[in-house]
Structure 1
């Protein structure tokens, strides 16, 4: 029982410090850009249909998951194509990018460049051929006409799926619906939780950066003013605050709807609120993924790193298989194993293409069928590129070596 509790607390802590703090900063940076440009960034993505796939790939290429998370609600709104989703998720390296950038920058440069090219090419192929876009939308519409679905490529342009009405009001921060938003207790409490959440996020960012610079070591659960104690206290506090903001606070602070893109923001505080609520939404899914993964390892003895490190051509295939697991936890583990010289470059590259990081969670929540199909589309080029690196390019350029590009 004690071990189960320790796994639960460690998952809360690690999910927030290792993932959520970085996601928060990325989403905030994009939100501030939206605020300063009055929505011009999302408008540029939505208004340039031919470049949407490329823009999606570039957003996915940014370290962390924040850039990719921005694209998912645009698909739900029907303003970007399914190929854009595929390119974004394929180019996403998630939070494992921070590990590789810190410990193996040369490997990161090559791996993520390969992932970007392969994902953008796949995205354009999906849109050009119409590979599964209409089928996905029709399947979702048949399952539930009210379920959110994405845009359909029609005459080489992106248009709303006629099976779904996109004409509803855009999400706002106005206190117009839900519980009593003027509660004498919960309204000030929620605003206080929001402020404390950002305090935890900044502290978590600093601690998470130190953690990555140290090579991602095991951090024991502890209390105190040392690194281990602060790592534990800040992580658990931030996770608990995230759960509160997602479950209760968003109804009183504003931003009642999450996993939705905003065109612009009315103030800095408005921007901070949106970033906090979006990150809290992702945090919930991250915690679920962490707990499922950790309890599976604890109860079954499964070792993902050992499986992925299988000899020969199984290594890149294993890297791609690990990439199918939603969330950044397994990917951070794989990246750490690579940085220690335990995996070949082909496995790292295949994983970089196949993994979706935390960006898949918002799409899973509102359009599970599209999320699954997009993951399959990225898994296929991940295997092809990984095997090609193993047999063809790797031996020529030295990328078949274990520990290629590690400092």
Structure 2
């Protein structure tokens, strides 16, 4: 979970050779699954399985206890990785939780960079994520109670461009915390919609494709478990460089699970969901009919996140090489601009730049105030489900997680003597 190693040794030029571009693609596809998706899969599965065992009572409880929602959102976001916060996004889309809950979940999220800091600087992680958690709760409740101008920001974003969603739905006003999809309450209980194979041209192939898709789903979980093992080993080894290798070694396990896992994820997201009854990715389920359906739902959710993560990795890595810009180096500017840079870096969705930032902190390259500001501001991969369904709400949410990040980061820089370089690093 460090910078993609494919970039090491690339020439500092605006021109990319075909081989260099291919290297970035392969390493991004591989690393995205092992470094992100395998961890997301487990956290999403845990919550889904709890839903299955409790018959959906957790969602019902949140729905009936609005005063607990921002706290619950912050607790979900505090989970290392992005899986917990990812769960909160579809809850907002269906109108179960408030917009303050979304902001609380995103503000508390440290993303997959949390694994880097927990492994290399556990004391720094304890302080930074505690501050992020407290800030998330306070800011989430403040938004729900007083609005804090969310409605105005919502209208300003709406004027810039039309809201973009995958289903043509828009947020009428994110400050209301209401459902973006008026008829979603009905849709949420329709478990058959994912079997729609468009216009019926593939009816003859449906039984075959259904069986094949279920096989891919089972394979996906086998690879996800192996990918999780590879990811944990990767962190335990101190996030080393991982070359492409196809032998029975750690490097081989990392490479094979990454490439196969991403390939299976793309198939499930773009093809498989039409044939195995889970086409509504990014939307929470009240309950599940069986344990298998629980696993299936978690796989579909994670596959959707994988697609977005790989896209973010590619944009980030190609952008750095083509534009010759080191985002983390800019964020580490001297003085008070360090926490400001860390907070602004958090505006970039996904975990790739945040993982780079965390790695630089572990090497003593940036101060603790910048790390904390980034921990509060970053949304990790949790923003992707919201972006996929309601882009406008996602933009407003990420703007609002940056505000407490700037406040806390600057205060730490000026007031806390320990907010310096190397604090808590092993």
TM-score category, normalised to shorter length: over 0.9
Please state if 1:127 is matched with 2:144.
Answer: yes
Q: CA deviation at 1:76?
A: 0.7
Alignment of 1:184-223 (within 5 A): 184-223=207-246
Alpha-carbon separation, structure 2, partners of 1:318 and 1:335: 13
Which region of structure 1 is more displaced relative to structure 2, 291-300 or 139-148?
Answer: 139-148
* RMSD of Structure 2 on Structure 1 (CA): 2.2
Give 1:57's aligned residue: 74
Work out which of the residue numbers 368, 372, 376 in structure 2 matches 1:345: 368
Q: Say which SS state the counterpart of residue 246 (structure 2) adopts.
A: coil
Alignment of 1:166-245 (within 5 A): 166-174=184-192, 177-179=195-197, 183-245=206-268
Give 1:404's aligned residue: 423
Which region of structure 1 is more displaced relative to structure 2, 276-285 or 186-195?
Answer: 186-195
Which region of structure 1 is more displaced relative to structure 2, 356-365 or 122-131?
Answer: 122-131
Give 1:164's aligned residue: 182
Please state if 1:4 is matched with 2:27.
Answer: no
Alpha-carbon separation, structure 2, partners of 1:302 and 1:54: 38
Give structure 1 stretches of 5+ with no counterpart. Answer: none
Q: Is the 8 A contact 1:96 1:332 kept in 2?
A: yes
Q: Say which SS state the counterpart of residue 335 (structure 1) adopts.
A: helix
Give 1:371's aligned residue: 394
Q: Is the 8 A contact 1:86 1:377 kept in 2?
A: yes
Alpha-carbon separation, structure 2, partners of 1:243 and 1:173: 21
Q: CA deviation at 1:166?
A: 3.9
Give 1:269's aligned residue: 292
Give structure 2 stretches of 5+ with no counterpart. Answer: 1-17
Q: Is the 8 A contact 1:78 1:149 kept in 2?
A: no
Give 1:70's aligned residue: 87
Alpha-carbon separation, structure 2, partners of 1:236 and 1:28: 21
Give 2:169's aligned residue: 147
Give 1:113's aligned residue: 130
Q: CA deviation at 1:28?
A: 0.3
Q: Say which SS state the counterpart of residue 220 (structure 2) adopts.
A: helix
Q: Is the 8 A contact 1:254 1:273 kept in 2?
A: no
Please state if 1:327 is matched with 2:327.
Answer: no
Count of residues paired in the alignment: 399
1:297-346 CA-to-partner distances (Å, cap 9, x unmatched) read 12122112211222211111111121111001111111111112211110
Q: CA deviation at 1:106?
A: 1.0
Alpha-carbon separation, structure 2, partners of 1:250 and 1:132: 39
Alpha-carbon separation, structure 2, partners of 1:209 and 1:40: 32
Work out which of the residue numbers 9, 22, 25 in structure 1 matches 2:39: 22
Q: Is the 8 A contact 1:187 1:253 kept in 2?
A: yes
Q: Is the 8 A contact 1:146 1:164 kept in 2?
A: no
TM-score (norm 2): 0.88
Please state if 1:41 is matched with 2:58.
Answer: yes
Work out which of the residue numbers 307, 323, 331 in structure 2 matches 1:284: 307
Q: Is the 8 A contact 2:33 2:258 kept in 1?
A: yes
Give 1:336's aligned residue: 359
**C-alpha spacing 1:406/1:172, structure 2 compared with 1 (3 Å):** farther
**C-alpha spacing 1:146/1:392, structure 2 compared with 1 (3 Å):** same
1:344-373 CA-to-partner distances (Å, cap 9, x unmatched) read 110110000000000101111111111111
**C-alpha spacing 1:101/1:297, structure 2 compared with 1 (3 Å):** same
Q: CA deviation at 1:227?
A: 1.5
Q: CA deviation at 1:217?
A: 1.9
Give 1:246's aligned residue: 269
Please state if 1:354 is matched with 2:377.
Answer: yes
Give 2:321's aligned residue: 298
TM-score (norm 1): 0.92
Q: CA deviation at 1:219?
A: 1.1
Q: Is the 8 A contact 1:35 1:264 kept in 2?
A: yes
Alpha-carbon separation, structure 2, partners of 1:148 and 1:200: 36
Q: Is the 8 A contact 2:109 2:378 kept in 1?
A: yes
1:113-140 CA-to-partner distances (Å, cap 9, x unmatched) read 1011112111111111123454577776
Alpha-carbon separation, structure 2, partners of 1:74 and 1:312: 40
Please state if 1:93 is matched with 2:110.
Answer: yes
Q: Is the 8 A contact 2:78 2:129 kept in 1?
A: yes
